[in-house]
Amino acid sequence: MSADVDPHFYDRADALIELANAQLAGAPRELVGDSGLYAMARFNAWLSASGHASGAAMQAAKAQILEECLGRYRQMLEANLDDYIGHFEQYMRGRRG
């Protein structure tokens, strides 16, 4: 993550992780993960739509939207994978997200 992350970035992320962890009591982790991915995809689609004047304008920007969102996700996933690899024993003792 860049140094200019807003002061509440991790608080919001932690709240979403806590919600996902709570849902593990009633569903397998893969299903909880899929629901989280769907929710973020839906939210990002809405976020993208809110920045366009029409469906046609959004369609014209679709490739760029996908590239930007998937690129950011890839960077964040890669950073978190590296973090878990580097701290595997510490993080996996409790086996939660």
Those residues whose C-beta lies under 8 Å from the C-beta of residue 74, and which sit 6 or more positions away, are none
Structural Rg of the chain based on CA atoms: 16
Those residues whose C-beta lies under 8 Å from the C-beta of residue 85, and which sit 6 or more positions away, are none
Higher-pLDDT residue of 37 and 3 is 37
Going along the chain from its start, the domains and CATH numbers come out as 9-92 (1.10.287.3020)
- Residue 48 contacts residue 58 (beta carbons within 8 Å): yes
pTM of the shown model = 0.85
Mean of pLDDT values over 37-50: 98
Q: Which helix (H) or strand (E) holds 87?
A: none
What is the reported pLDDT for 5? 85
Read off the pLDDT of residues 47-97 as tens digits, 9 standing for 90 and up: 999 999 999 999 999 999 999 999 999 999 999 999 999 999 999 986 655
* C-alpha of 68 from chain center: 13
pLDDT at 36 over 70: yes
